[in-house]
Amino acid sequence: MRVKVGSLEVALEAEEVKAAPGGLYLKGREVRVYPPFRGEAFFRHGWQSWSLASWVSLSQPPVPLLPPERQPQADDPFLLRASEWWGSGLGALRGPEGRVLLLGALGVGARVLGRPDLLLGRMEGEEGGWFVAWGSEEEVFPAYARLLPRRLLGKPPRVWCSWYAFYTNISEVRLLQVLEEVASYPFEVFQVDDGWQRALGDWEANERFPHGMAYLAERIRAKGLRPGLWLAPFLVTADSPIVHARPEWLLRDREGRPLPAGFNWGKPLLALDAGKEEVLAWVEGLIRKVCSWGYDYLKLDFLYAASLPGAEGEGRYRVAMERIRQAAGDAYLLFCGAPVLASLGLADGLRVGPDVAPYWDNEDRSTWLGDPTGPGLRNALRTTLHRLWLRENVQVDPDVVFFRTRFNLLSPETMRLQEVLARYTGFKATSDPPSWLLPEEEVRLRGFLTEEGGVERLGPYRFRFGEEVLDYAPLL
């Protein structure tokens, strides 16, 4: 049938079409929209926090992401294996005068294929509901976001996070020292990242935390800060004690082989099967335990593991995360490495890009291995910039800002790009220990934490902060 989407006449195939605010609703497990123009650029939306979200050229096919062992932690594996451009949940084509034709799913488990003359939406499992819109980028993405689940309670937090200074080399002694240093700064959360646990799946304090995690939480609270803790609740490795005790809890393929979940910390990763009641009860117990230790800000990481093999697992993922949401009560939940659209309405904060790093880009990984998801400021900025329209649904975490010049290869200009983006989303975090900062860097960190707002978006890639105009386009 031929219909008008705003001022654009398109041909489409769907079971049902009706009016929606700012566009049309479509119904169908598979829907097709044929634009009257040839789209050269496709908005490719990656599956989880770290996956690439960006405009891509349809004249060049996607390149394979290497090594294959990393694919499950980089994106929906289906998207990485496809020879054409697919996106997760939504897709868009750029038409004349920079206007955009967007097709977005209104449920979980969806993928969208982009060709110059077609947007094809397909939903795994669910009865399909879709939104289609035509207009400027500034109109169609927020119009879509307004139809998705939302959870926005209070203001985004100001966080000191241990990861980007010490990585896994943390200890009680080291963190208590930093706690003294940050106490005079207006942080709200002191977040202990990866490195405190005995092993994946063994969420007890290791020998570097001799007084246990409840003790550390108490010391954090005594400084007037909220204790925060990192967990990867569904992630395990073959040598995790929980896997020895409960091999039947592993997520497996149809042939019964454990499903690969990526490669990190020098080991192949595996996942617990979030579709099993015993696993959910165990994860609930874990969440209750860390809350009872005094942590009420949880960074829940590698969450894609609960949804593998990809979009097909999103229904299961949502049920599992609802259980965690219940078990966590009022605790702030920051989702990371998380299927993006399936997390809306449950997460308080959501990482919407890859990790930053104290360098711009790891070219070995981004160029030669075709992997845009690795740590690095360029990768982080690019994907985050293409997901800012989620601000209406969740507190958007662009990852930490660097103020230090110590142990840092970033230029002041690129550090500024990250600072202004964090000021724009309001989610303010750093890993810099104040003792690493020069006096002028301390002043900038204080200003960052105390000043609110002040950033105006001039266009998709241009922002104004005071007298400064920042242009992010050269990094794309």
Please count the other Cβ atoms lying within 10 Å of the Cβ belonging to residue 86.
Answer: 25
Q: Side chain identity at 317, as an amino acid letter?
A: Y
What is the nearest approach in angstroms of ligand 9PG to the Cβ of residue 65? 10
Q: What is the DSSP string of 124-180?
A: SSSPPEEEEEEE-HHHHHHHHHTTS-----SPPPEEEESHHHHTT---HHHHHHHHH
- Please report, as residue ranges, which positions from 342 to 361 form the binding site for ligand 9PG (by CB under 6 A): 355
Distances (CA, A) of 61 to 64, 103, 241, 373: 10, 20, 43, 18
Which residue in this structure is represented by tokens 């259980």? Answer: 323
Q: Which is nearer to ligand 9PG, 237 or 264 (CB)?
A: 264
Q: Does residue 355 carry a catalytic annotation?
A: yes
Which of 264, 405 has the CB closer to ligand 9PG?
264
Judged by DSSP in three states, 448 sits in helix
Task: Tell which one of 48, 54, 71, 73 touches ligand 9PG (CB under 6 A).
Answer: 73
Residues 135-164 that bind ligand 9PG (CB under 6 A): 163
Taking residues 308 to 337 in sequence order and writing x for each that binds ligand 9PG by CB under 6 A, - otherwise, the string is: ----------------------------xx
| Closest distance of CB 301 from ligand 9PG, Å | 5
The minimum distance between CB 12 and ligand 9PG, in angstroms, equals 37
User: Does the protein bind ligand 9PG through residue 230 (CB under 6 A)?
Assistant: yes
What is residue 418's three-state secondary structure?
helix
CB-based contact 273:247 (threshold 8 Å) = no
**What are residue 161's DSSP bridge partners?**
191
CB of 193 to ligand 9PG, least distance (A): 5
Q: Which of 193, 273, 348, 355 is catalytic?
A: 355
State yes or no: is 273 an active-site residue: no
In the bound state with ligand 9PG, the residue whose beta carbon lies nearer, of 49 and 95, is 49
Radius of gyration in angstroms for the set of CA atoms belonging to the chain, rounded to a whole number: 22
Would you count residue 397 as binding ligand 9PG (CB under 6 A)?
Answer: no
> If binding means CB under 6 A, how many residues of this protein chain bind ligand 9PG?
13
Q: Is the dihedral of CA 219, 223, 226, 232 positive or negative?
A: negative
444 DSSP assignment: H
C-beta nearest to ligand 9PG: residue:
194
Q: Between 247 and 276, how does the x/- string for binding to ligand 9PG read (CB under 6 A)? A: -----------------x------------
Q: What is each CA distance from 328 to 219, 234, 242, 297, 325, in whole angstroms? A: 21, 16, 22, 9, 5
Q: Are 136 and 100 in contact (CB under 8 A)?
A: yes
- Provide the annotated active-site residues: 301, 355
- Point out which residues bind ligand 9PG (CB under 6 A): 50, 73, 163, 193-194, 230, 264, 301, 336-337, 355, 373-374
